[in-house]
Amino acid sequence: MVAIRSLAAILTYVIGLCGVIPLFPWLTALPRVFLVAGFLSGLWQDLMGRWKLKPWMQNTAIVPVFLFYALQFSRVNPIQPVISVLAIMLAVRISGEKTVRDSLQIYTLSIFCLASSSLFDLSPVFLIYLGLLLFVVAVALVLLTFQNQDDTMAVAMPELKKILFSGLLMPVLAVPLLLVIFPIMPRTQLPLWHFLNQPAIRTSGYSDSVEPGSQSSITPSQTAAFRAEMSRQAQSGLYWRGTVFNRTDGIRWSRNPRVPAERHEISGRTITQVIYPEPSAVRTLIALDRPVGIFMRRVKRSPDGVFELIGTTGSRLSYAVDSLPSGLIQQRNPVDRLFYLQLPEDFSARLKALASKIARSGKDDRTRVEQLEKNFRNGGFRYSTRDLPTGDRAIEQFVFDKKQGHCEFFASSFALLLRAAGIPCRLVGGYLGGEYNELGGYYTVTEDKAHVWVEAYINGSGWTRIDPSSFATNAGDVWKPPGSRSLKLRISQVLDSLNHEWNRYVITYDFEQQINIARHVGSRLRLANPSKILRSSVPYFTGILLLAGLLFAVRKFSLFRSRERRILNRFLRMVEREFDLSAEECASGLFEIASVADNCHVSKFVAIFAGAIYHDRRLTDSEYLRLRQILRFLKG
């Protein structure tokens, strides 16, 4: 027996936790303290069975809190006071004795708390808490109706199971309704309140300028930058293009938005991806190098393959991209050499000397680039994110003295030398590599994968991708393929793909997308021939039929019933057939059947079977065997 009252109390705490946990990180210190204290004191008093906190004390305690937060409420700070009052009210309610009325208030407050947590964060965890809350509230409401009738009521385990089952039934029945409502209800793609005071997003890597030498070390962050749904590609070809830097002052590279016109020869195999960037303030759209087209409204396209978003940012979005992954783009119109050879007036003399040496070593651009590459390969450069050259002469230090730095040093120095040697070039900022999630079929690229490389215009072939960082002596270590798939990695991938599906189908879901899918299905149906559809649907129908058949078998042939029920059903069927009894007679008692049938085997069966059943025990193995033997006699 389980006391309804204590069960309802436990569920009340669960409900309270479901409401509080998602909101807790966004609360200020005072409501946090209240919550912890409220839960602890409530638990302690419930365990003791004495409630020292009287309802009038609780109600009085809320008044000053309410006044305090009411004074804080303003147009710039509308949310915090409200959620603080909510949380404190919940804490106060949960701290005392829980009558039916108090419990109902706690449930309501918990639902409000959970709902307000979605103002700050739209993560799939919300759904888990919501589902749990709905289920537990349904069960708890059923229990409360019992408690309301009789405070001291206790129920046995089977009844409790029934209550739990009916409680589960309610949310489960609501799910189909939810699916109907989902497409028509208005939704938000960003947490309503929290997007305004979003923390600085990109902590490492990608920025709108390249300035090697500004910091002596960088700490890479492992947070995801974006996800790209596509088939698996060679790891070495995963250059994700973001922006292009085409202007330099010798130290800092930046973007001149007035990019000269380029007309490209587009040929070769394209790769289609769908990119889901994490929300950020950056307007540049990332795509696999080199994007040919991004299919999205309100996107500005620059001739050098940079795509930028016009208008608001910060919400979740997704876009499809077609890319040419070859790393080589032919240009039909002549390149603007002046624009891509621009160098500062006070360009370092040492670098200039090195560049002119390289310019002299080859007769065309290709051999000069190869010479510079050889210089870098044999120069003993190391890739490192610590102990970096700093200051105005950081590039010179890197090339001639320290010989260690990160991609910005490699790319920047390489590009400066190329320009000084008379070869047009630019820097491309983006990401390199990524982790492929087999489960979701997408790449996850984290912020620490931010990368800068060089695009050089080589006469006769076109814009060629050169990654100077790969010339480092330790490039193999840095670009090593992902190691063995550990369990932790696999779990994190599963979680990540769940997160991704949530973002994809719930947060960035829009009506247009649904209509596109419907239209797509419609056109596919028009094209397809009926017999093919019929053939392809055969497995589904077979599956459904099999499932239905299995269910029917379970019901009809009592596959999972007890041994007693099985053998009794066999016996009844057999008696009905052999002795020509009506179903009505078979519904009567066993001894009545035996007297109507007037057969020694039937009587024996009934005697053994009833002897066990009406003694409240199961059939023993020997009895069971004997009964089966009798049934065989009956049949024979």
Distance of closest approach, residue 565 Cβ to other proteins, in angstroms? 5
Dihedral sign for Cα 451, 456, 457, 463, please.
negative
* Piece in contact with other proteins (CB under 8 A), picked from 211-219, 426-434, 472-480, 608-616: 608-616
- Whether the ω angle into residue 382 lies within 30 degrees of 0, i.e. cis, is no
Q: Which is nearer to other proteins, 70 or 587 (CB)?
A: 587
**Closest CA relative to residue 217, chosen from 453, 387, 419, 441:** 387
Number of residues that bind other proteins (CB under 8 A): 18
Q: Which is nearer to other proteins, 168 or 607 (CB)?
A: 607
Cβ neighbour number for residue 589 with a 10 Å cutoff: 10
Hey, which residues between 364 and 423 contact other proteins (CB under 8 A)? Answer: none
Distance of closest approach, residue 598 Cβ to other proteins, in angstroms? 15
* Piece in contact with other proteins (CB under 8 A), picked from 31-39, 234-242, 454-462, 585-593: 585-593
Distance of closest approach, residue 592 Cβ to other proteins, in angstroms? 5
- Contact call for residue 588 and other proteins (CB under 8 A): yes
Dihedral sign for Cα 36, 38, 39, 45, please.
positive
- Contact call for residue 516 and other proteins (CB under 8 A): no
H or E segment at 227?
strand 224-229
- Contact call for residue 615 and other proteins (CB under 8 A): yes
* Piece in contact with other proteins (CB under 8 A), picked from 197-205, 255-263, 398-406, 587-595: 587-595
- Contact call for residue 607 and other proteins (CB under 8 A): yes
Q: Which of 62, 115, 613, 631 binds other proteins (CB under 8 A)?
A: 613
**Closest CA relative to residue 253, chosen from 414, 101, 132:** 414
Q: List Cα–Cα distances, 510 to 417, 505, 514, in angstroms.
A: 49, 9, 7
| 627/581 Cα distance (integer angstroms) | 20
Q: List Cα–Cα distances, 312 to 162, 198, 228, 529, 617, in angstroms.
A: 52, 14, 22, 45, 74
Q: Which is nearer to other proteins, 182 or 560 (CB)?
A: 560
Distance of closest approach, residue 629 Cβ to other proteins, in angstroms? 17
Q: Which of 346, 512, 598, 616 binds other proteins (CB under 8 A)?
A: 616
Q: In what order do the strands lie in the sheet with 442-446?
A: 291-295, 319-323, 271-277, 224-229, 442-446, 435-437
Distance of closest approach, residue 609 Cβ to other proteins, in angstroms? 9
Type of residue found at 274: V
- Contact call for residue 590 and other proteins (CB under 8 A): yes
| 355/375 Cα distance (integer angstroms) | 11
Distance of closest approach, residue 583 Cβ to other proteins, in angstroms? 13
Distance of closest approach, residue 610 Cβ to other proteins, in angstroms? 5
Q: Which is nearer to other proteins, 441 or 589 (CB)?
A: 589
Q: Which is nearer to other proteins, 478 or 610 (CB)?
A: 610
* Piece in contact with other proteins (CB under 8 A), picked from 129-137, 366-374, 401-409, 583-591: 583-591
Q: Which is nearer to other proteins, 441 or 611 (CB)?
A: 611
| 627/636 Cα distance (integer angstroms) | 14
Q: Which is nearer to other proteins, 541 or 591 (CB)?
A: 591
Main-chain phi, psi angles of 171, to 5 degrees: -65, -35
- Whether the ω angle into residue 561 lies within 30 degrees of 0, i.e. cis, is no
User: How many CA atoms does the CB half-sphere of 636 hold within 13 Å?
Assistant: 7
Q: Which of 507, 608, 630, 634 binds other proteins (CB under 8 A)?
A: 608
Distance of closest approach, residue 152 Cβ to other proteins, in angstroms? 24
For residue 239, list its beta bridge partners.
Answer: 432
Beta-sheet strands, E only, within 420-509: 425-432, 435-437, 442-446, 450-458, 462-466
Q: Which of 592, 600, 632, 633 binds other proteins (CB under 8 A)?
A: 592
Distance of closest approach, residue 153 Cβ to other proteins, in angstroms? 21
| 449/517 Cα distance (integer angstroms) | 33
CB 43 within 8 A of CB 103: no
Q: Which of 614, 621, 622, 636 binds other proteins (CB under 8 A)?
A: 614
Hey, which residues between 527 and 566 contact other proteins (CB under 8 A)? Answer: 562, 564-565
Type of residue found at 84: S
- Contact call for residue 582 and other proteins (CB under 8 A): no
Q: Which is nearer to other proteins, 236 or 562 (CB)?
A: 562
**Closest CA relative to residue 271, chosen from 226, 225, 234:** 234
Beta-sheet strands, E only, within 12-146: none
Type of residue found at 416: L
Task: Give the x-and-dash track for 31-60 against other proteins (CB under 8 A).
Answer: ------------------------------
Distance of closest approach, residue 589 Cβ to other proteins, in angstroms? 3
CB 107 within 8 A of CB 94: no
- Contact call for residue 159 and other proteins (CB under 8 A): no
Distance of closest approach, residue 46 Cβ to other proteins, in angstroms? 36
Q: Which of 495, 600, 611, 620 binds other proteins (CB under 8 A)?
A: 611
- Contact call for residue 589 and other proteins (CB under 8 A): yes
Q: What tokens were used for 199?
A: 């923390």
Question: Given the rule CB under 8 A, which residues bind other proteins?
Answer: 562, 564-565, 568, 587-592, 607-608, 610-611, 613-616
